[in-house]
A and B are shown apart, each in its own frame.
Chain A
Amino acid sequence: MSTSAGATGEALAPRELTLRIWRGDAKGGGLVDYTVEAQDGEVVLDVVHRVQATLAGDLAVRWNCKAGKCGSCSAELDGRPRLMCLARLSTFERGVPIVITPLRTFPVIRDLVTDVSFNYRKAEQVPAFQPSADQPVAPFRMAQVDVERSQEMRKCIECWLCQDTCHVIRDHDDNKPAFSGPRFFARYAELDMHPNDGLDRRRLMQEERGLGLCNITKCCTEVCPEGIKITDNAIIPMKERVVDVCYDPVRLLRRRRARG
């Protein structure tokens, strides 16, 4: 009954596949070729595991669920940031080695494993959810339409591909201290749109978390394996919300008058 392409017996015949994997550590390294058997029904992570089990027992790679839910096996495949567990072999050109390199934006630990602690430091800086004065104690009453925007952001599996691809830090290490990155802009947006959150983080985002450094080139959205519209539904709405408090003279005036 399920006879879609790629699921037929013939297409699954094993074949030789070469992976060109970056191996090394902070001191240096380079691309090494490994040729193993593979079949079209498999994903890149399967083949990496085969290399590990047969040719290079100490090949370092992060992974957990192998089902696109945990966001651990992030790497760059043929130069594009992707999850190895969602990269089906049938989508690669046959006969050409697949180049696998570690995330480029973060320091390398070994082989395909990078030090992603940058992201955990940025997570620590997020002022946590704080219930509003209207409903300080759960259970809260919240309408489905009011939680949906934040729910989209909460689909994030923290694979850090958006952080990796963002040129603001990928190409400019010096921006790292001042820039939280797309994943955390989505987090701030999620909190700002939470129907029962009582904190205002808009000025903080603009002045200390580097929202203004983003030039909305949308690479974060392109690489998101969860299909979250980070740019359109988080970053730009937050830029607009920041304009409300920082750059819109009419609103600022109105606000001042309202206060007076």
Chain B
Amino acid sequence: MAAPTEAAPAGPQERPRAAIEARTLRRDQWWRAPAVSAVVIGAFVVYATIAALWNADYYYEPYISPFYSPCLVAGCHLSSESYTHLRVNVPHLSVLGYWWVVSPAILILVFPLGFRLTCYYYRRTYYRSFWRSPPACAVAEPHRRYSGETRFPLVLQNVHRYFFYAGLVFNAILTYDAVVAFRNHQGQWGHVGVGTFVLLINAALLWCYSLGCHSCRHLVGGRLKHFSRHPVRFKLWGVASWFNARHMQFAWASLVWVALTDLYVRLAASGTIHGAWV
């Protein structure tokens, strides 16, 4: 196609842009959103690191911290200072045995954190907040070169769907944890404490977050060319799309809540809070 540029004397090289010095002419507080995101994510990382390395106070009958579920080490009930009776509620895999000394949370957290790290929404957020690529729309980024997600390691973001699958497994486990939180320490149904709700909400938010995952949306139906030939998958795609439209909200809510859940169990297990209501 002959564009008008051909009439101009300029050579094949790209012609100059308008000479505007300022990095951005935006006058709104464009730095606020990335700053808030950075603070919240940073706080979570710091908290999660401490909590994961603590390797104690993560179990308080019938509640277990989501950072330490499933129970991988033998005797994870011993992590509680105030309770010493045998664990009755939480699945006891004890694949690691008593010899395991490092926090089992490290093994567990790889999966949910990997899920979030490769999540399309979180990618948007940390590319903006931490990598400043770009810090905000129409604000110049500080890097001289940029290769996006074409090279190692960022090309690995494409494995997101496997972390999604793993995330589902953990959602199932945490849902089980929430259900058994309705039993008391003797295994009898009918217990309801604040912790029961904390775990229940945690599981619910994680499902809401996972079901809105872009990979999920693709896998359940998005990859189809003809919805009309797959009515059930079209329905599922509709559900995933609903959650997907709220992916950001559920991403933040579930992130904050999962930390609060761990904190709650920790406070209970360490005896900081006590009483029948716990």
Contact = CB atoms under 8 A, between A and B. Distances in A.
The reply to whether A and B meet directly (CB within 8 Å) is yes
Contact of B138 (A102, A115, A168, A219): A219
Contact of B16 (A81, A107, A223, A241): A107
B214 interface: yes
Interface string B9-35: 010001111111010111110000000
B172 to A, nearest CB: 20
A240 B222 contact: yes
B54 interface: no
Contacts of A218: 124
Given A108-B17, A240-B222, A232 B146 contact: no
Interface string B101-121: 000000000000000000010
Given A171-B134, A217-B124, A241 B18 contact: no
Interface residues of A, number: 64
Interface string A203-237: 00000001011111111001100000001100011
Interface in A166-207: 167-168, 170-176, 193, 195
A104 B228 contact: no
Interface in B141-182: 141, 143, 145-150, 154-155, 158-161
A247 interface: yes
A200 to B, nearest CB: 11
Interface in B66-100: none
Contact of B18 (A29, A81, A193, A239): A29
Interface stretch (A8-16, A20-28, A50-58, A65-73): A20-28
A132 to B, nearest CB: 9
A7 B160 CA distance: 50
Nearest to A144: B228
Given A216-B124, A240-B223, A173 B228 contact: no
Interface residues of B, number: 56
A29 B214 contact: no
A232 B214 contact: yes
Given A171-B141, A215-B133, A240 B215 contact: yes
B272 interface: no
A124 B120 CA distance: 30
Contact of A115 (B15, B133, B160): B15
Q: Which of B15, B123, B138 has the most CB of A within 10 A?
A: B138
A114 interface: yes
Given A117-B3, A124-B1, A217 B146 contact: no
Contact of A212 (B26, B120, B149, B227): B149
Contacts of A80: 26, 137-138
Contacts of B22: 79
A210 B127 CA distance: 18
Contact of B17 (A105, A167, A217, A243): A105
B25 A99 contact: yes
Contacts of A212: 148-150, 155
A171 B140 contact: yes
B106 to A, nearest CB: 26
Nearest to B125: A217
Query: By DSSP majority rule, is chain B's interface helix, strand, loop, or mixed?
Result: loop
A31 to B, nearest CB: 9
A165 interface: yes
A74 to B, nearest CB: 12
A172 B146 contact: yes
Nearest to A31: B20
Contact of B146 (A101, A106, A175): A175
B137 A165 contact: yes
Contacts of B128: 217
Contact of A167 (B141, B214, B223, B228): B141
B20 A214 contact: no
Contact of B226 (A24, A30, A195): A195
Contact of A81 (B138, B150, B244): B138
B148 A247 contact: no
A173 B20 contact: no
Contact of A213 (B24, B147, B161, B223): B147
A171 B15 CA distance: 15
B226 A143 contact: yes
Contacts of A106: 17
Interface of B: 1, 3-5, 10, 14-20, 22, 24-28, 120, 123-124, 127-128, 133-134, 137-138, 140-141, 143, 145-150, 154-155, 158-161, 214-215, 217-219, 222-223, 225-228, 234, 244-245
Given A76-B138, A143-B226, A172-B146, 9 more contacts: A26-B15, A26-B16, A78-B25, A106-B17, A115-B3, A117-B4, A170-B134, A175-B146, A243-B158
